[in-house]
Structure 1
Amino acid sequence: MQTAVAILQKYWKHDSFRSLQNEIIDSVLNGQDTFALMPTGGGKSICFQVPAMMKEGICLVISPLVALMKDQVANLQKRNIKAIALTGGIKSDEMIDLLDNCQFGNYKFLYVSPERLQSDWILNRIKSLPVNLIAIDEAHCVSQWGHDFRPAYLKISDLKKHFPKIPFLALTATATPRVQDDIITALGLHNPQLFQKSFERKNIAYMVFEVEDKLFRIKQILEKNPQPSIIYVRNRKSCLDISSQLQSLGFKATYYHGGLSPKEKDKNMQLWMQEDVQVIVATNAFGMGIDKANVKTVIHIQLPENIENYYQESGRAGRNGEKSFSVVLTSPSDIFQAENQFIRNLPDKPFLTAVYIKLCNYFQIAYGEGMDQRFTFNLNHFCLKYDFPILKTYNAMQFLDRQGILNLSQEFSEKITMQFLIPSKEVIRYISMNSNDEEIILTILRTYPGIYEMQTAFNLQLIAKKSNHKESEIQAVLHKLKEKDIIEYHAKNNDTTLIFNEIREDERTINRVSKYLEKQNLLKTEQLKAVLHYVNEKKTCKNKLILDYFGEKITNDCGICSYCISKKTQTVDIASLSKEILTLLKTEKLNSREIQNRTNTNAKDVIFVLQELLEKEALLIHSNNKYSIKL
């Protein structure tokens, strides 16, 4: 048998293992159940891929992430290692062929989702395979207190009965102490060897800044640190908006979100990977499998959903070991927006029931039927028909997907994008000469005010409803405008595919999973509270706050986070600064940023003094956010 290092050199072209990898591999080779808690970028996949290559037989890898499965299979195949993934959408006869290949074709890796193991015939086929190792990736999904709980993970422990002598390797990047205990119990790990890498990233400076103008602060950060950067935002529109604004400021930027085609995703990612652009603005769809060593700065301009996601996204900075920055920019309205997005849009049991029943009615599925039926699905059309809020409905469907009741792809992008190519005054002239099109065009302009500046995602059903026209009439106007080169118009056929995994049983189906829904909603509320505590806590080292969340205690402050830097900063003489600001405002009106630049003082102190002067009624603030002396 070749040594672990020899396998690593032969297939991965590395001469040595990273911290803990060798120890985890040895534990697995000794037939020991093993739990590896390794923060993002720690090289978890090597821990099961190397020992599996050293032993006869095939490694069963259980993962909830289709994209990650495909990515790992593609990487293994590039190294001439035989690997297969049983992802959604594969027909039964094709599945049989793939499993035959695993049994007779000398394959080394079989990737499956936990939901696949709930199919008796697939499980029976797997039982007949020469399995040498069972790796459970994203193992936190087995815990009801994990940040992405999936009940199908609870069934994984049944594999212990079929493979009692085969080691289990549970892997996760983020798990609190409560989640760690859950994983060991729920997977039935027998006296597991626990390998835990510290969550501390000593080269990352965690920064939290409350700012009035986030774009201005981003500009300052990117100018000071011109190396590769990631800016995380919450939605696709923000991706386009921030990327466009950065380009107008002279930065080379691109964007990445789940609604892009695979070709667009790859093109934009390569622009950033090859450093043709400095910045990639992305939703959390970006990052899986990304390993770029020299990322200097990761910026969150909206509050993350939980500390787990924030930690993973922050950890994409500084993998070369050099000092790097993880920055959160906040404003007073962020707390309301986060609660509105993450808490108020959580589906409760009545809403989940309503969505599920209407979904079955939408596709005309009779009670007791529907299992394995497949449909093309448009979220916007569905929500419009039943007057459901889109985000809350999306969250409900995500929950149904995680429970294994249905499968859906995550690409809910619009079918149409468009942009006006002529100035607004020319559009008005066109409307005056084509009065039949007036109502439709004005509805489009009112709904999408930025449609002159960029390609804009376009909801056909919404415009039809708002303008009181048929969809076919809207399409006819769009085609006419395109022919006249008034608009650029792209129609995309990228509705999601929806597969029902169970027969329709209405309340009975929902009653079975509603206990998980209640726990999920409670968890998400607690997680957002932890994020708010991290952002708002002004008297504790940010590094300490993160480590404490994951159950790791340290005594020393990091010395480089925003809290530690603020302690070192020389105290500003408030009285002198107040006098200086009043002198400036005697001659002209200025906003806070202009005052900051003129006084060469940090924003926090300027805002403090301005608030004091406003309370003393020494200043006036105008509608354009400029200050003047009150006469």
Structure 2
Amino acid sequence: MEAQQILKTYWNHDSFRSPQLEIIQSVLEGKDTFALMPTGGGKSICFQVPAMMQPGICLVISPLIALMKDQIQNLEKRNIKALALTGGISSDDTINLLDNCQFGNYKFLYLSPERLQSDWIVERIKGLPINLIAIDEAHCVSQWGHDFRPAYLKISKLKEHFPKVPFLALTASATQRVQEDICTQLGLEHPQLFKKSFARENIAYMVFEAEDKLFRIQQILTKNPEPSIIYVRNRKACHDVSAQVAAMGFKSTFYHGGLTQKEKSKNMQSWLDEDVQVMVATNAFGMGIDKPNVRTVIHIQLPENLENYYQEAGRAGRNGAKAFSVLLVAPSDIQTTESQFLAVLPDKAFLKEVYIKLNNYFQIGYGEGINESFYFNMNHFCHHYKFQVLKTFNALQFLDNQGIISLSKEFSEKISLQFLLDSREMLRYLSLNPSDEPVLTAILRNYTGIYEIETAINTTLIARKANTSEENVIDVLKRMHQKEVCVLHIQSNDSRLTFNEVREDELTINRVAKFLQQQNEIKTKQFESVIHFISDKKLCKSRLLLDYFGETDTKDCGICSVCITKKKTDRSPIEIAQSILALLKNSALTSREIENALDLNSEETIFALQLLLENDKVKINNQNQYISL
């Protein structure tokens, strides 16, 4: 089939976005290709369509497990066979997956870059009919990028094994220096370069100073009742802000990495179906989300870098309609965020301490630990060693990026159970509690040793066998525990942690210390760019963003907060004061209501009201409202 037919048959789109078709043609001609496409530009189509047009398998290298899973689910919905090899999968399971890949007519094999460090996996891949090698998040190969991962350096070795297979490098953000480094490090031969502009002409980038952010949110959501996203920095803020938004009368839900998969799916679906207007989320929300009619994206805390901000803001207006990206800034935000963000960047000494304590925590001996996997509760770990949580998280994330550990940030529950009654007593219990029988029968059939020893059970499996919900299974177990029929332990875990290397303490940390220092310097500069973006009140916000991403031949957008301010004719304080007096003839109003009614900023309002008070034209009543005299 032709590319257009593939697109229509599997994705139900009638046409490609620029420059998707040109990238696909370059790949089909067997050329190494580099594509710089902003978020929402449709990068995955660029390798999925040509892979479907040719016999064989497309090898996709990606560092993001959540994104791999999301893409595989989307492919499977279209009856396209795909699988993933990520960290934490046992050797036996990996062999089975590769066998399936070789003999099961699969079209896509997703791989985390760390798996290329295993020679036997590379040997197995060499035996597969690879038709294209796609490298997602390609900026990770550059030590000048904001997310350097040494495992990416192994990718160029695949060139030796697949000299005639085209490489397609894809990234959503890379400076000119990083772009050149990507092509060099991946060994791309005379690569075809495709760059899509970062300009989003329908998005108005608005930066507002706001002491009372909830009031501004209320204004924005009332004016724009379409689907909205509010980005916050942590899980607690997710719950708090969602509750506050709901209290203001807007239907709201939340999304963060600490939710179970069921909670994530339920909350996501209610927002996608527009049962709720507002999704309050951390940056865990967004990968693979392509809801076209999001009207507003609001940031109520400063982003760490403009890459993340642009990516999150870009989830608005994908249908081409006018949309708003609003960043609310309080006077103390810069100082607060700077101390929070820069103070929690780990140095070499702290990184080494965390790594050693992590090995001790799981009782890993020196020279041991490779491929060992554990449930991991980071809060418990930090409490145990009196580590600061954010700084520890950054250290673990760095170790993950360097391939030393793999940290899947998926919430999980480990449930273990042991029956205390003998089988005869258990029958008596069932006769008194017949509604529990399906669940207990399913447990007894699948876990025969549960009378003798506390056993980890899979509640999803039990729910399926008992033809009931997982919530009901847990309710049954909790009731049994209360009646002392069983011992029940439910242990919540933030994530699963896998050691990818043997423990070598100082040798391990010394090897990556220079990258840590480099990364800290990059993150500091990135945050300085955020400060510049919010502080500059003269340059168009869209142009500031485009300039950051290397696009200099640009013009004012005409719709951002700076451009709108320029369009307003300068009103003198006396003119504003007269407008306020005219307004107050009808009713008493608060300063906020005046500001809202006359489309003023807080400085203009306060100055004009001060003039009126000093000249005895208005006074304040006991409800903090202004009335004319």
Judging changes above 3 Å, is the alpha-carbon distance between structure 1 residues 584 and 12 closer, same or farther for their aligned structure 2 residues?
A: closer
* AA at the equivalent of 1:136: I
Q: Secondary structure at the match of 1:265?
A: helix
> Distance between the aligned counterparts of 2:554 and 2:308, measured in 1?
25
Structure 1 residue 313 corresponds to structure 2 residue 312: yes
* AA at the equivalent of 1:26: Q
Q: Describe the superposition over 1:463-494 as per-residue Cα deviations: whole angstroms up to 9, x where unpaired.
A: xxxxxxxxxxxxxxxx99x99xxxxxx96633
> Distance between the aligned counterparts of 1:196 and 1:598, measured in 2?
44
* AA at the equivalent of 1:314: A
Q: Secondary structure at the match of 2:215?
A: helix
Structure 1, unmatched stretches of 5+, are: 417-478, 484-489
Counting only pairs closer than 5 Å after superposition, residues 132-151 of structure 1 correspond to structure 2 as 132-151=131-150
Structure 2, unmatched stretches of 5+, are: 416-477, 483-488
> Distance between the aligned counterparts of 1:551 and 1:72, measured in 2?
29
Structure 1 residue 8 corresponds to structure 2 residue 7: yes
Judging changes above 3 Å, is the alpha-carbon distance between structure 1 residues 212 and 609 closer, same or farther for their aligned structure 2 residues?
A: farther
Judging changes above 3 Å, is the alpha-carbon distance between structure 1 residues 610 and 239 closer, same or farther for their aligned structure 2 residues?
A: farther
Residue matched to 2:55: 56
8 Å contact from structure 1 (residues 254, 279) kept in 2 = yes
Judging changes above 3 Å, is the alpha-carbon distance between structure 1 residues 589 and 13 closer, same or farther for their aligned structure 2 residues?
A: closer
Residue matched to 1:158: 157
Judging changes above 3 Å, is the alpha-carbon distance between structure 1 residues 611 and 210 closer, same or farther for their aligned structure 2 residues?
A: farther
* AA at the equivalent of 1:71: D
Counting only pairs closer than 5 Å after superposition, residues 106-505 of structure 1 correspond to structure 2 as 106-411=105-410, 493-505=492-504
* AA at the equivalent of 1:130: P
> Distance between the aligned counterparts of 2:564 and 2:538, measured in 1?
12
Q: Describe the superposition over 1:156-196 as per-residue Cα deviations: whole angstroms up to 9, x where unpaired.
A: 11111111111000111122222211211111111110111
8 Å contact from structure 2 (residues 88, 406) kept in 1 = no
Residue matched to 1:92: 91
Structure 1 residue 570 corresponds to structure 2 residue 569: yes
Judging changes above 3 Å, is the alpha-carbon distance between structure 1 residues 131 and 610 closer, same or farther for their aligned structure 2 residues?
A: farther
Q: Secondary structure at the match of 1:493?
A: strand
> Distance between the aligned counterparts of 1:414 and 1:123, measured in 2?
34
Residue matched to 1:462: none
> Distance between the aligned counterparts of 2:612 and 2:65, measured in 1?
56
Instruction: Give the C-alpha shift of residue 143 in structure 1.
Output: 1.7
Q: Describe the superposition over 1:249-298 as per-residue Cα deviations: whole angstroms up to 9, x where unpaired.
A: 11011111111111111111111111111111111111100011111111
Residue matched to 2:451: none
> Distance between the aligned counterparts of 1:62 and 1:607, measured in 2?
56
* AA at the equivalent of 1:124: E
Instruction: Give the C-alpha shift of residue 13 in structure 1.
Output: 2.1
> Distance between the aligned counterparts of 2:115 and 2:5, measured in 1?
34
* AA at the equivalent of 1:172: T
Q: Secondary structure at the match of 2:22?
A: helix
Q: Secondary structure at the match of 2:132?
A: strand
Residue matched to 2:34: 35
8 Å contact from structure 2 (residues 589, 625) kept in 1 = yes
> Distance between the aligned counterparts of 1:546 and 1:174, measured in 2?
12
Judging changes above 3 Å, is the alpha-carbon distance between structure 1 residues 216 and 137 closer, same or farther for their aligned structure 2 residues?
A: same
Judging changes above 3 Å, is the alpha-carbon distance between structure 1 residues 355 and 183 closer, same or farther for their aligned structure 2 residues?
A: same
Residue matched to 1:541: 540
* AA at the equivalent of 2:324: F
* AA at the equivalent of 1:273: L
8 Å contact from structure 1 (residues 239, 281) kept in 2 = yes
8 Å contact from structure 1 (residues 589, 626) kept in 2 = no
> Distance between the aligned counterparts of 2:504 and 2:345, measured in 1?
23
Instruction: Give the C-alpha shift of residue 15 in structure 1.
Output: 2.4
8 Å contact from structure 2 (residues 261, 411) kept in 1 = no
RMSD of aligned C-alpha atoms?
3.0
Instruction: Give the C-alpha shift of residue 208 in structure 1.
Output: 0.5
Q: Secondary structure at the match of 2:289?
A: coil
Mean Cα deviation higher: 574-583 or 26-35: 574-583
Identical aligned pairs, as a percentage? 69
8 Å contact from structure 1 (residues 374, 499) kept in 2 = yes
Judging changes above 3 Å, is the alpha-carbon distance between structure 1 residues 173 and 600 closer, same or farther for their aligned structure 2 residues?
A: closer
> Distance between the aligned counterparts of 1:414 and 1:571, measured in 2?
60
Structure 1 residue 560 corresponds to structure 2 residue 559: yes
Instruction: Give the C-alpha shift of residue 373 in structure 1.
Output: 1.8
Residue matched to 1:470: none
8 Å contact from structure 1 (residues 34, 168) kept in 2 = yes
> Distance between the aligned counterparts of 1:104 and 1:88, measured in 2?
23
Instruction: Give the C-alpha shift of residue 319 in structure 1.
Output: 0.8
Instruction: Give the C-alpha shift of residue 85 in structure 1.
Output: 0.5
Q: Secondary structure at the match of 2:324?
A: strand
> Distance between the aligned counterparts of 1:576 and 1:7, measured in 2?
62
> Distance between the aligned counterparts of 2:230 and 2:222, measured in 1?
14
8 Å contact from structure 1 (residues 205, 561) kept in 2 = yes
> Distance between the aligned counterparts of 1:194 and 1:9, measured in 2?
26
8 Å contact from structure 1 (residues 242, 281) kept in 2 = yes
Judging changes above 3 Å, is the alpha-carbon distance between structure 1 residues 571 and 16 closer, same or farther for their aligned structure 2 residues?
A: same
Instruction: Give the C-alpha shift of residue 87 in structure 1.
Output: 1.9
8 Å contact from structure 2 (residues 410, 496) kept in 1 = no
* AA at the equivalent of 1:88: G
Instruction: Give the C-alpha shift of residue 96 in structure 1.
Output: 0.3
Instruction: Give the C-alpha shift of residue 550 in structure 1.
Output: 0.7
Mean Cα deviation higher: 600-609 or 262-271: 600-609
> Distance between the aligned counterparts of 1:492 and 1:592, measured in 2?
51
Mean Cα deviation higher: 299-308 or 334-343: 334-343
> Distance between the aligned counterparts of 1:516 and 1:244, measured in 2?
41
Instruction: Give the C-alpha shift of residue 206 in structure 1.
Output: 0.7
Judging changes above 3 Å, is the alpha-carbon distance between structure 1 residues 303 and 542 closer, same or farther for their aligned structure 2 residues?
A: same
Judging changes above 3 Å, is the alpha-carbon distance between structure 1 residues 392 and 590 closer, same or farther for their aligned structure 2 residues?
A: farther
Instruction: Give the C-alpha shift of residue 338 in structure 1.
Output: 1.7
Residue matched to 2:426: none
> Distance between the aligned counterparts of 1:405 and 1:292, measured in 2?
36
Instruction: Give the C-alpha shift of residue 579 in structure 1.
Output: 8.6
8 Å contact from structure 1 (residues 355, 396) kept in 2 = yes
> Distance between the aligned counterparts of 1:574 and 1:504, measured in 2?
69
> Distance between the aligned counterparts of 1:309 and 1:35, measured in 2?
21
8 Å contact from structure 1 (residues 147, 308) kept in 2 = no
* AA at the equivalent of 1:408: L
> Distance between the aligned counterparts of 2:338 and 2:408, measured in 1?
26
Instruction: Give the C-alpha shift of residue 12 in structure 1.
Output: 1.7
8 Å contact from structure 2 (residues 60, 134) kept in 1 = yes
Residue matched to 1:522: 521
> Distance between the aligned counterparts of 1:559 and 1:413, measured in 2?
47
Residue matched to 2:439: none
8 Å contact from structure 1 (residues 415, 495) kept in 2 = no
Judging changes above 3 Å, is the alpha-carbon distance between structure 1 residues 367 and 22 closer, same or farther for their aligned structure 2 residues?
A: same
> Distance between the aligned counterparts of 1:517 and 1:412, measured in 2?
27
Judging changes above 3 Å, is the alpha-carbon distance between structure 1 residues 494 and 331 closer, same or farther for their aligned structure 2 residues?
A: same
Judging changes above 3 Å, is the alpha-carbon distance between structure 1 residues 388 and 28 closer, same or farther for their aligned structure 2 residues?
A: same
